């Protein structure tokens, strides 16, 4: 499977906080990839050439974003999992443009730019962590300067290509 991600540039304190939260509450993914915005979710390998081409043709400047709130999303059964993620106010429009450029036919679900913080078996635990994160860590300011195409390989992720934004 292929993914396109935007890697945020964050202050050392914010980067450390996000990495610690992800390591504690989303350890499976945190071991594979650091904080990121996913722009293409699980594309089949046959889309690699098209995604490489689309990434090379992006003419968007680097941009600032502000993570200013935490959202809890409860997945319906049979998953019974609560997802917790941080969403940007500033920068969301630019992330949406990137998403629409890379997914011209749209996706199965509405896109909301976010950085996943964790997965929880109980909604109450997710809500408690959300309150702590909002109180202690938000807002977080960062910049998106680079996007990349990554491939899931046995035991991890492999970066296929990285591209700096320039407009």
Give the model confidence (pLDDT) of 1-21 as tens digits.
999 999 999 999 999 999 999
Dihedral class, residue 80 (left if φ above 0, else alpha if ψ from -120 to 50, else beta):
left
Its pTM stands at 0.94
* DSSP tag of 34: -
Whole-angstrom Cα distance, residue 157 to residue 3? 10
pLDDT for residue 109: 77
pLDDT for residue 105: 83
Express each pLDDT in 32-49 by its tens digit: 999 999 999 999 999 999
Instruction: Say how many domains are in the chain.
Output: 1
Helix H or strand E segment including 29: helix 27-30
CATH number at residue 59: 3.90.1140.10
Looking at the chain, the whole-number percentage of residues with pLDDT higher than 70 is 99
Express each pLDDT in 69-120 by its tens digit: 999 999 888 878 999 999 999 999 999 999 999 998 876 778 999 999 999 9
Where in the sequence is the domain holding 54, given as residue range(s)?
Answer: 2-164
């Amino acid at each position: 499977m292929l993914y396109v991600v935007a890697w945020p540039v964050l202050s050392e304190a914010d980067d450390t906080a996000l990495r610690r939260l992800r390591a504690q509450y989303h350890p499976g993914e945190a071991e594979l990839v650091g904080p990121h915005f996913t722009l293409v979710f699980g594309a089949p390998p046959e889309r690699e050439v098209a995604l490489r081409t689309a990434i090379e043709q992006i003419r968007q400047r680097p941009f600032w974003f502000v993570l200013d709130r935490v959202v809890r999303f409860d997945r319906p059964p049979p998953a019974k999992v609560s997802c917790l993620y941080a969403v940007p106010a500033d920068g969301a429009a630019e992330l949406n443009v990137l998403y629409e450029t890379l997914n011209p036919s749209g996706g199965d679900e509405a896109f909301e730019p976010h950085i996943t913080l964790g997965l929880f078996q109980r909604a109450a635990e997710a809500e408690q962590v959300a309150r702590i994160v909002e109180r202690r860590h938000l807002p977080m300011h960062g910049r998106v300067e680079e996007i990349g195409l990554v491939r899931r390989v046995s035991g991890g992720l492999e970066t296929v290509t990285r591209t700096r934004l320039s407009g």
